[in-house]
């Protein structure tokens, strides 16, 4: 099911699915990257994920995820810098129930979903919470692991104003079926580096200049 497909609620309500995000920032053979923006009270209507996906929070607010099948809602409260790696989920919608704008980057991993006859089971996924990092501490170059999973890793680092940081040393690690490709941008504030499928950079600057990792 995709945008434009019609599904029905348990009560028989006819619902037309929408895209999972507001804007596609990158779409290649390996990943599809979306931007999602929700003002307070705004809803991202009913949609469906066909791939395991990673959510990187750029602007934080409280959220509620409702399920079309009537399951109890999931309440979300991930701070700026948080990362969540999720399995494909049933049809749902997302509402910003907080009093601040919400914004994220959502990365779909096609190699683990739509490009396979049977999508990969990622288990419980993984979650990285600001202020709570996996064991090991920062790397000598300042990179700090945010999220660790057998499929992907997410790093956080700071780029000094008017400075630069090379991602060529970011390890890809033992990831399944790694493929070339990247999406990147630089920031004078905080930046994520995602390694695995593929390695990529994302940030919260609307004036970011793109460059290859």
Q: How far apart are CA 53 and CA 106, in angstroms?
A: 7
Q: How far apart are CA 9 and CA 14, in angstroms?
A: 7
Q: How far apart are CA 109 and CA 55, in angstroms?
A: 11
Q: Domain segments of the chain: what residues?
A: 6-203
Q: Which CATH class is domain 6-203?
A: mainly beta
Span 23-56, pLDDT tens digits: 999 999 999 999 999 999 999 999 999 999 999 9
The model carries a pTM of 0.76
Span 103-151, pLDDT tens digits: 999 999 999 999 998 889 999 999 888 777 777 777 777 778 888 888 8
């Amino acid at each position: 099911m995709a945008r434009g497909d019609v599904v029905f609620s348990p009560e028989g309500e006819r619902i037309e699915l929408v895209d999972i995000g507001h804007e596609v920032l990158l779409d290649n053979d390996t990943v599809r990257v979306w931007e999602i923006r929700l003002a307070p009270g705004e809803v991202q209507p009913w949609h469906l994920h066909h791939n395991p996906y990673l959510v990187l929070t750029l602007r934080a607010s409280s959220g509620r995820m409702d399920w079309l099948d009537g399951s109890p809602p999931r309440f979300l409260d991930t701070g700026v810098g948080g990362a969540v790696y999720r399995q494909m989920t049933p049809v749902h919608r997302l509402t910003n129930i907080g009093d601040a704008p919400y914004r994220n980057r959502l990365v779909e991993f096609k190699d683990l979903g739509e490009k396979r006859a049977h999508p990969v089971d990622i288990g419980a996924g993984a979650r990285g919470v600001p202020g709570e990092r996996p064991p090991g501490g920062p790397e000598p170059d300042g990179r700090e692991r945010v999220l660790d999973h057998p499929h992907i890793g997410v790093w956080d680092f700071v780029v000094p104003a008017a400075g630069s940081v090379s991602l060529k040393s970011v390890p890809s690690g033992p990831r399944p079926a790694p493929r070339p490709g990247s999406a990147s941008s630089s920031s004078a504030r905080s930046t994520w580096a995602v390694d695995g499928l593929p390695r990529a950079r994302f940030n919260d600057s609307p004036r970011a200049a793109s460059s290859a990792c």
